[in-house]
Structure 1
Amino acid sequence: MTRPAPARSAAAAVRRALDGRQDGTAEPPPPPPPGRRPGERALRLGTVAVAALAAALVTGRPWVLALAAVPLVLLVLALPDGPGPGEVTAEATAEPRRCFAGEQVRVRIAVAYDAGPGRLDPGVTLGHGVRLDRLAVGPYHVELLLTVQRWGRWTLGTVDVDVYDRGGVARRTVRAELGEAAVFPVPGHAGLTPVPVRLPHRLGEHTAAQRGEGVEVTGVHPYVRGERQRRIHWPATTRRGTVQVHQFAAESAADTVVLLDALTDVADPVTGVSSLDETFRAAAGVVRAYLRTHDRVGVVSVGGTTRWLRPGSGQGYFHRITESVLEVRKDLAHRSEGLAPLPPPALPGHALVYVITSLTDHRILDVLHQVRGRANPVVAVEIPTGDPVVDPGDTEGSLALRLWRADREAMRFGLVEHGIPVVAHRPGESLDLALAPLLRTRVHGGTR
């Protein structure tokens, strides 16, 4: 497949301006201070005692020293030999560890220490994509209600719990790691399941071109000994003078592979919608639709490390598919340095391949060339990213915008010329609107 040529450098500059991804993982907070130390109340009492001593020295009046007696007595309790929290441990549990974007995660931190009941003062550091909705503190536990806002594999964060003694003058700090959560994208609505011309010989719900034991009538044929008499078509029998029986189409299952373009993550300059978010939502909708019709579905994620999962079936397979590509976004990291060849087991013969892409990186054309070269029927689902915003009077920006549009149009034209249908899925709309034109005819494959 030849690459379209118009001005890639200018279009690439516009893409870099739109690229909203952030590389790098979240830095963990510094470790808490070790050992037992004075609390805020001890510091306040010490300040009062020092101020009283200073006043006595300045004024020369001994009775002022009596003002420092009470704070000094209370400060003795904060010394290492005084009573206070000894060894402190904290154990965090979070439920659920697997959820969809926008759902809540409940975290409970059990704190154990050998002193009497004191006061807990938690300091919460949240990971990327996590929001704190509620915080409750008890004598021996801390409860948090978190909301994971975006799909990915997120570190929920850390909680540093200050454990005070009964008087509140001595404290110890213990850190509780909240662990990770696998957050699945909310699937886009999809109910249509287009099929390729050739289907594997496996019982399913799609009508095949071959004759078989289905339920869709495709014609009539003369009666053959052994066929069921209940299938006799009496009107045709009367017209032709010989016994005619119904002819049915076979029903087969389809093999489908969803190929995700994770090479770039482009934010729409108007709405701020992430193309990578919409890519995974559309992919989840396609996967769920085909699994509901008992088809086998696989997934390939292209971007940096090529991740893939062999096609399988069953509703439980949906979670395996989504978990296999969650590493694309881990703590806001998104890298796509290389492009590895597609492994042969990832693309079974004659499997229908959905390539969900924003068409912003020309490397995806190499991937499409590999798929097309294996004679797999291919459908490109484009995730629109919106045009860059150009200020009025910016001549260079207007030229770059024209080159950007020409580059995108050339990519679409090149795909259509090579027999790859291109459908556009707009965020917020049903996937059925994009896939409906594919129902007019079956999707054809390439040639080896």
Structure 2
Amino acid sequence: MSEEGGSAGNARTPPGRGDEPMLGRDRPASGGDAVRRALGGPQSLDAPAEPPRAPTQTWRLTERALRLSSVALTAAAIALITGRAWMLALAAGPAVLLALGAPRSTRPGRVSARAVVPVRRCFEGEPIVARVDLAFDGLVGWIDPGVAPGPGVELAGVNVSGPVVTFSFIARRWGRWSLGVADIDLHDVGGLGRRTVRAELGDVDIYPMPSDSTLTPIPTRLPNRLGEHTARQSGDGFEFAGVRPYAWGDRQRRIHWPSTTRRGEIQITQFAAERAADTVVLLDAFGDVRDPATGRSTLDDSVRAAAGLARAYLRSHDRVGVVSVGGRLRWLQPGTGGGYLYRIVETVLEVRRDLGYHAPDIDHVPAPALPNGALVYAITPLADDRILDVLRDLAERGNPVVVVEIPTGDPRVEPGDEAADFALRLWRMDREALRFSLVERGIPVVAWDGSGELDLALAPLLRTGVRGRIR
């Protein structure tokens, strides 16, 4: 559902990219041949190539016409040089085929293409269908499609049905990507001329697949707003919190008869209040670190964890917001509702574009993005010192903060390198000291490597709740 523009390596060399002959295109393409030509070689999801040049808008010779012309001219030249008249018979066949080809008057004079993508928002792994409707005013022998897909999608198939060409893609990576451009060859009836028309398929928004998370740890102090979380204060809820002596005005239906019988005086049942929580997901976009052992991206895992946490709290009817700190500060004020998850994810989709060499000095989160007392989940690999300044600012405000660490993996060390082993030990000790300093500040640290369920990492927070700094 979101964006990041770009285009990947071409699935095949688009028609009209050059005037050089292209073999294997002298007959109508079946469905399987069109798919094989369109799929071409391997596609890169990370390194987009240069977009193909715009095709010429005029009719030109096909490979069949070039081969026939080459055979006729070669045979005629040999006949003139060697004096062998029978070689002219070899040149006569291709010449007749060229002469009997479809007349140019039957070729379309006006050709247009219109791209239609019914669904431009999807999650990772879901299919995307793009349709190109062709319109022309003449006769066409067959249609040969080609496409240069964008870096975040993978071409799965091509189908040609009359003047309609359908491309099937698979969403591979979250972000806002371009589907690419489609260059479609129109061949005349005789197969001697072709013309290329281009259609821009536009952009699609691919949402990250949220992590599996259902647990919603809450802070010890909740705002005075009706919700589904059991608070420590008594109120109008459903969970039993204790009994107390009867006071004037209490309802009779709240009498706790077993306690009343034992104590000899009327006892009233107390219930825990049910409150809603304000949750803000803080996304560390200062950089993207890949684990040298597994190749996992900390940014990808962070985005999936953020989407999973937002979905879990929104299901509990809590207010959820998001803040992205990195190349550019982005935030979305906390809100609620089923459709708010898409607004949160769309805000996160721009994070990949923010990665670069710009290093802003960010040491605090704007007040509008952070309600008073809101629970903050800081999802970070703890690889940049600037995120520590942000966490320090949050702790000083009194907000309860939880650090969800995305492990970066240990640096690679060559076997037998004692100096590197010693440096690795120091690096691990520094990481442990960093986590200890956060815990000492009252900021719990949980680790999630992106492979298991996020609930396993959050489960220890359910025992005591999340406490903010005591001022």
- Judge conservation of contact 1:220–1:233 (CA < 8 Å) in 2: yes
| 1:210 alignment counterpart | 233
The question of 1:432 aligning with 2:455 is answered yes
2:359 alignment partner AA: G
- Aligned counterpart for 1:320 among listed residues 313, 338, 343: 343
Structure 1 position 388 matched with structure 2 position 411: yes
Give the secondary-structure state (helix, strand or coil) at the position aligned to 2:431.
helix
**Which residue does 1:353 correspond to in 2?**
376
What is the CA–CA distance in structure 2 between the aligned matches of 1:312 and 1:336, rounded to whole Å? 32
Question: Which of 347, 359, 363 does residue 338 from structure 1 map onto?
Answer: 359
C-alpha contact (below 8 Å) 1:203/1:252 kept by paired residues = yes
Q: Is the 8 A contact 1:117 1:139 kept in 2?
A: no
Q: CA deviation at 1:74?
A: 4.7
**Structure 2 vs 1, CA of residues 26 and 253 (structure 1 numbering), >3 Å: closer, same or farther?**
farther
Counterparts of 1:214-363 in structure 2, within 5 Å, are: 214-329=237-352, 334-335=355-356, 337-339=358-360, 340=362, 341-363=364-386
Deviations 1:154-199 (A, max 9, x none): 1122111111111111111111112111111111111111111221
Distance 1:23 1:132 in 2: 15
User: Aligned ranges for residues 145-160 of structure 1 at < 5 Å?
Assistant: 145-160=168-183
Gaps of 5+ in 2: 1-44
SS of residue in 1 equivalent to 2:430: helix
Kindly indicate whether structure 1 or structure 2 has the higher relative contact order, using CA contacts under 8 Å at least 6 residues apart. 1
- The residue that corresponds to 1:441 in the other structure is 464
* Structure 1 residue 235: Cα displacement: 2.6
Aligned to 1:376: 399
Matched to 2:382, the amino acid is L
Mapped partners of 2:448, 2:146: distance in 1: 43
Q: String of CA shifts for 1:48-97, please: whole Å, max 9, x gaps.
A: 12112211221234564454345345546889955323222111222421
Counterpart of 1:49 in structure 2 is 72
| Residue number in structure 2 paired with 1:99 | 122
The corresponding residue for 1:190 is 213
Partner of 2:59: 36
Structure 1 vs Structure 2 CA RMSD: 2.3
TM-score under structure 2 length normalisation? 0.85
SS at match of 1:215: coil
Q: Which secondary structure state, in structure 2, belongs to the residue aligned with residue 323 of structure 1?
A: helix
Query: Is the Cα contact below 8 Å between 2:48 and 2:150 reproduced in 1?
Result: no
Which segment is superposed worse, 56-65 or 276-285?
Answer: 56-65
How many angstroms apart in 2 are the aligned matches of 1:114 and 1:422?
Answer: 67
Q: Is the CA contact 1:122–1:161 (under 8 Å) kept in the aligned structure 2?
A: yes
On the 8 A contact 1:84/1:171 being kept in 2, the answer is: no
Q: 1 CA distance for matches of 2:415 and 2:100?
A: 70
2:420 paired residue number: 397
Does the Cα contact within 8 Å between 2:102 and 2:190 map onto a contact in 1?
no
C-alpha distance in structure 1 between counterparts of 2:48 and 2:359, whole Å: 19
CA distance in 1, matches of 2:419, 2:147: 47
User: Per the alignment, in what secondary structure is the counterpart of residue 115 of structure 1?
Assistant: coil
CA contact (8 A) 1:131 1:148 kept: yes
SS in structure 1 at match of 2:106? coil
Q: Are residues 35 and 395 of structure 1, via their aligned partners in 2, closer, same or farther at CA, if it must alter by over 3 Å? A: farther
State the one-letter code of the partner of 1:105: I
Q: CA deviation at 1:240?
A: 3.4
- Amino acid corresponding to residue 27 of structure 1 in structure 2: E
> Measured at CA, do residues 282 and 245 of structure 1 come closer, stay the same or move farther in structure 2, by a change above 3 Å?
same
Number of paired residues?
Answer: 425
Q: CA deviation at 1:445?
A: 1.5
Alignment match, 1:9: none
| Residues 355, 381 of structure 1: 8 Å contact kept | yes
Given the superposition, is the C-alpha separation of residues 415 and 37 from structure 1 closer, same or farther in structure 2, using an over 3 Å criterion?
Answer: same
Q: Which amino acid aligns with 1:36?
A: W
CA contact (8 A) 1:126 1:158 kept: yes
The aligned amino acid for 1:48 is V
3-state SS, counterpart of residue 175 of structure 1: strand
Q: Residue type matched to 2:167 in 1?
A: L
Distance 1:103 1:377 in 2: 37
CA contact (8 A) 2:178 2:204 kept: yes
Q: Is the 8 A contact 2:47 2:151 kept in 1?
A: no
Read off the aligned partner of 1:176 and give its amino acid letter: A
Distance 2:375 2:463 in 1: 16
In structure 1, the residue corresponding to 2:117 is in which secondary structure? strand
Q: 1:403 to 1:83 in 2, by over 3 A?
A: farther
Classify the secondary structure of the residue corresponding to 1:329: helix
Compute the displacement of 1:422 (Å).
0.3
- Give the structure-1-normalised TM-score: 0.89
**Structure 1: unaligned runs, 5 residues or longer:** 1-21
Distance 1:189 1:314 in 2: 19
Deviation for aligned residue 1:427 = 2.2
Q: Is the 8 A contact 1:222 1:244 kept in 2?
A: yes
Counterpart contact for 1:38–1:78, Cα < 8 Å: no
